Amino acid sequence: MDLGAKAIYRRRMRQAFWSLFSLLTLVIFGACIYNMMSDNFEVAVLAEATACREELGVCEAQQTYVERTPFAETFEFSTLHRRKLRVRCMRSLIFVGGYSCVARVRLCTEGGCVETATAPAGSGSAPAVPLGARPRSAITRPAASASP
């Protein structure tokens, strides 16, 4: 190979690398947007089921806070027995896969406050509540408006 051919080869390899890098960046960006903007009704139902798991009898969890990021969704519920319960739901594989939720309880003592996690409830293999099931509280899917 002469010097001209090596330079052309290097330039093509560099172009291929940056093209693949740009494509990968766009795919990751698209997955982030999808995770943040898609309908999260089923995730909210799973989070509520996680919040109600340790309640006795009928549980009416009131959703007080929602935070959505590309990597996780955090819900805060108020139940009859707990004033504040934070539930964090994440996908099994960063941007794809089923969601699993973990309830985090804040325990305060004289030495300070510590957040502890309860056992996770997942939607991957055995969901705590069937996805698409009617929720037990006031979480409802907005009615679809028919456009003329």
Q: pLDDT tens per residue, the chain (148 residues)?
A: 677 889 999 999 999 999 999 999 999 999 899 888 888 899 999 999 988 887 777 888 889 999 999 889 999 998 887 778 899 999 888 888 889 999 887 666 677 666 666 655 554 433 344 333 444 444 444 444 555 5
Which pTM does this prediction carry? 0.63
Helices (H) and strands (E) in the chain, counts: 2, 6
Closest CA to 75 of 56, 141, 7, 66: 66
Report pLDDT for 135: 45
Using CA atoms, how far residue 56 sits from 15, 64, 120, in Å, is 62, 21, 18
Structure tokens at 43: 């995730």
Domain boundaries, the chain: 1-38, 39-122
3-state SS class at 136: coil
The DSSP secondary-structure symbol of 131 reads T
End-to-end Cα, the chain, rounded Å: 67
Residues 106 and 15: their CA atoms lie apart, in Å, by 52
**Under a CB-based contact definition with an 8 Å cutoff, are residues 23 and 31 in contact?**
no
